[in-house]
Amino acid sequence: MKKSKFLIRETCTPESKATLYGLLVAFLMIVLPLKAEIKLPCFFGDNMVLQQQMQVPVWGKASPGSQIIVRTGWDRYNYMAKADEYGRWKVRIQTPAAGGPYVLMISEGNGNPLTLGNVFIGEVWLLGGQSNMEMPLQGYRDQPVNGSAREILTSDRYQIHWFKVHRHSTTNPLDTVRQASWKKAAPDNAGEISATGWFFARMLSEQLNVPVGLIACNYGGSTVEAWMSPDVLLNDGRYTIPAPGDTIPVVNRTPTTLYNGMLHPIIGYGIRGCLWYQGESNYMQPERYAHLFSTMVNNWRQLWGQGSFPFYYAQIAPFDYGILQEKGYVNSAFLRDAQRLAEDSIANSGMIVLLDAGDSLCIHPRDKSIVGERFAMLALSRTYAEKIPGMASPRYRSLEIKGNEAVLTFDEASLGLSSFGQPLTGFEVAGTDSLFYPAKARIDRARVIVTAEAVQEPVAVRYGFRDFIVGKLKGTNGLPVSSFRTDDWYVLDK
């Protein structure tokens, strides 16, 4: 062996060496792309969850014009696609009923496949919004989440997988997100999961006995317009859309920049629906929010191409915004009211009410189980079953004036209303002068009768219309009634 090696070295002329080198390079140019040219966005990877019983898209890049084969481990079926002139390709694969783990193999031509392992089929939900959705199960510094230690310690009992889109604000729509990976919930990582998402997924996993995948796409302090695509804001002169390469004035509040950097890359990933918890950063513009929010939801649904998928959102919880000392301070109840009204204009949507779950001194209430479980109740009753009564908060329906009494009626209150033994507070009545006075209220089955000594000819009623309030009016199911107003007077209450 030593001799033959020596002879080869000695007998190779410069010309033959160049020929051999050229052949080697040509060989590598042929072989290596078969192993290396398949590129996937990082959210297609090991441990991912694909939405069950759906034709879910899978996409990536390869050599331009190459044939792509995606082979599914659950039925060993080959799906074909051809990469375009830029190397982009996409296939839709049919997923079975929930189960796993499986493998997914993707190859270019006859090359060695790229294999994704530990792939599960289940229920996938997108988590959108700002810091209250982003707040991890372990809490923020000096801002705890109730029961977090126990939840983290026992997290591997559940079939919950999660993927977090890293924060990124940019003026150009991106095709991929910053490097991240799917993780199965376990004590060493569960503390990083969205606390709201965790309690939602835990209830779904318990009730449906399927894997649950969470895709967290949120940014603390963000405004709704930062999550909207440029085309839906172009005709609104109140918003300046940065051009590619422009400086971003505020990374989480500049129109379109979070859409570009975080949402755009994941659009199309197969999901069951979306949970949204945002609005705190828009409380100064309540008159715009209902339109902006409904426009955003329609925008996302159109881009996703999955029809009117379920969109459930949280009404912002009471908080004393006055301590922020912002110039031009506006009562945040107007924003809550805009959210309440938006439910009527967004198909297949639902709002969870948190009027009993706020914190006057902290904008991040610590009981996230309330939020997550109320989301789960909506999803379980509306998405996974025929509509089950009693799983939503009663909603204000109408006002009737009878002498000096204002009589309020409610929907979603088939079992009536209750204050659960607590004094019924938070009501105000106004007369023709449009001035509101504290009022007394009493429950009559599914009605509330309101009076005020200072107002003998009532015209309008408001309930819970303060920054911070603990809502006492609930359905017999224990779910609180939203703050509301019967008037349409926009007043900058202070």
Q: Which structure tokens are listed for 285?
A: 């513009």
* Cα separation, 271 vs 422, whole angstroms: 41
Residue 287 parent element (H or E): helix 286-304
* Cα separation, 284 vs 327, whole angstroms: 10
CATH topology of domain 395-485: Immunoglobulin-like (2.60.40)
Residue whose token pair is 């224990």: 478
- Give the start-to-end residue ranges of the domains of the chain: 49-119, 122-382, 395-485
What residue type is 79 in one-letter code? Y
Is the CB of residue 265 less than 8 Å from the CB of residue 174?
A: yes
CA distance to 134, 239, 337, per residue, from 294 (Å) = 22, 17, 14
Is the CB of residue 127 less than 8 Å from the CB of residue 273?
A: no
pLDDT at 325: 67
* Cα separation, 163 vs 144, whole angstroms: 22
Domain boundaries 122-382, corresponding CATH code: 3.40.50.1110
Alpha helices in 114-229 (DSSP H): 131-134, 148-153, 195-208
Beta bridge partners of 447: 409, 444
pLDDT at 158: 94
Per-residue tens of pLDDT for the chain, all 494 residues:
333 332 223 334 434 433 433 443 343 334 333 344 799 999 999 999 999 999 999 999 999 999 999 999 999 999 999 999 999 999 999 999 999 999 999 999 888 899 999 999 999 999 999 999 999 999 999 999 999 999 999 999 999 999 999 999 999 999 999 999 999 999 999 999 999 999 999 999 999 999 999 999 999 999 999 999 999 998 788 899 999 999 999 999 999 999 999 999 999 999 999 999 999 999 999 999 999 999 999 999 999 999 999 999 999 999 999 887 665 678 999 999 999 999 999 999 999 999 999 999 999 999 999 999 999 999 999 999 877 888 999 999 999 999 999 999 999 998 999 999 999 999 999 999 999 999 999 999 999 999 999 999 999 999 999 999 999 999 999 999 999 999 999 754 33
**DSSP per position, 23-76:** HHHHHHHHHHHHHHS-B--TTSSTT-EEESSSEEEEEEE-STT-EEEEEETTT-
pLDDT at 333: 96
Are domains 49-119 and 395-485 of this chain identical in fold?
A: yes
Phi, psi of 201 (to 5 degrees): -65, -35
CATH C-level class of 49-119:
mainly beta
pLDDT at 20: 37
Q: Which structure tokens are listed for 162?
A: 């999660």
Angle at 430 between CA 425 and CA 435, to 5 degrees: 110
Q: Which structure tokens are listed for 263?
A: 């949402």
pLDDT at 310: 98
pLDDT at 328: 63
Residue whose token pair is 């950097």: 261
* Cα separation, 44 vs 213, whole angstroms: 12
